[in-house]
Amino acid sequence: QVQLQESGPGLVKPSQTLSLTCTVSGGSISSGTYYWSWIRRPAGKGLEWLGRVYTSGDTNYNPSLNSRVTISVDTSKNQFSLKLSSVTAADTAVYYCARGPGGWHWGQGTLVTVSS
Amino acid sequence: QTVVTQEPSFSVSPGGTVTLTCGLSSGSVSTGHYPSWYQQTPGQAPRTLIYYTDTRSSGVPDRFSGSILGNKAALTITGAQADDESDYYCVLYMGSGIDWVFGGGTKLTVL
């Protein structure tokens, strides 16, 4: 059974870049025709899809993030990553990584707080 | 910009049946939007219930079912139980350039 685990700093200063990594275990990130997504849930709000990456490196992003988001994959490490630039307090959220398509398979999530 | 709509809240009695819906601010939901449904309780990761409109995820009891009702996607829970009290989110595929858009979620109360 594949498992996903998010990791990264829990506190980021405003205007800096948020960086998170999702480590995939129990299977190769390159096997199958999957894509790998990032989703977040700000406190008191709903879920928001941020973007996805294929193991080919192709990406799709939520246009509402105004090009602040970059998602990449490192097949040698069985990981994929999220970078969100120029963060503000509005980016404070629990960030999840997930595998699709079909029913998404989720990581447990990690809380990132944007504060000085 | 198209918005995915869900009832903000819903209430059901234990043992009762409830249908939550997922619509579009403009247009109809179809199987081509690949509607999926997720359940989330406080402090937990979302749990996949239904994908591709009506496919139940592994381990999900058959009292959860998905469908298209009229111009919306629907999640029906039959025989509601206390631990069904959660937030429920639908997500739709809106096509290239927009990709996946979540609804605002429905807070289901079982009482």
For residue A46, give the nearest of B47, B55, B89 by CB distance: B89
Instruction: State whether B99 and A62 contact (CB < 8 Å).
Output: yes
| Short-list B80, B89, B82, CA closest to B36 | B89
What is the tens place of the pLDDT at every residue in A42-80? Answer: 988 999 999 999 999 999 999 999 799 999 999 999 999
Indicate whether B61 pLDDT > 90: yes
Collapsing DSSP to helix, strand or coil, B65 comes out as strand
- Do the beta carbons of residue B18 and residue B10 sit within 8 Å? yes
Q: What is the pLDDT of residue B96?
A: 74
Q: How many residues does chain A have?
A: 116
What is the tens place of the pLDDT at every residue in A69-115? Answer: 999 999 999 999 999 999 999 999 999 999 999 889 999 999 999 99
Instruction: State whether B46 and A105 contact (CB < 8 Å).
Output: no
Q: Which residues 19-58 of A are in CB contact (within 8 Å) with B?
A: 37, 39, 41, 46-49, 51-52
Single-letter amino acid, residue A24: V
Q: What is the pLDDT of residue B40?
A: 95
Choose from B99, B101, B106 for mutation: most chain A CBs within 10 A.
B99
Separation between Cα atoms, residue A43 and residue A113, nearest integer Å:
10
What is the tens place of the pLDDT at every residue in B24-45? Answer: 999 999 999 999 999 999 899 9
Instruction: State whether B46 and A47 contact (CB < 8 Å).
Output: yes
For A30, the enclosing helix (H) or strand (E) is none
Separation between Cα atoms, residue B107 and residue B111, nearest integer Å:
13
Q: What is the pLDDT of residue B39?
A: 97
| Short-list A59, A64, A56, A58, CA closest to A40 | A64
User: Would you place residue A32 in the very low, low, confident or very high pLDDT band (cuts 50, 70, 90)?
Assistant: confident
Q: What is the pLDDT of residue B98?
A: 79
Chain A CA closest to residue B96: A60
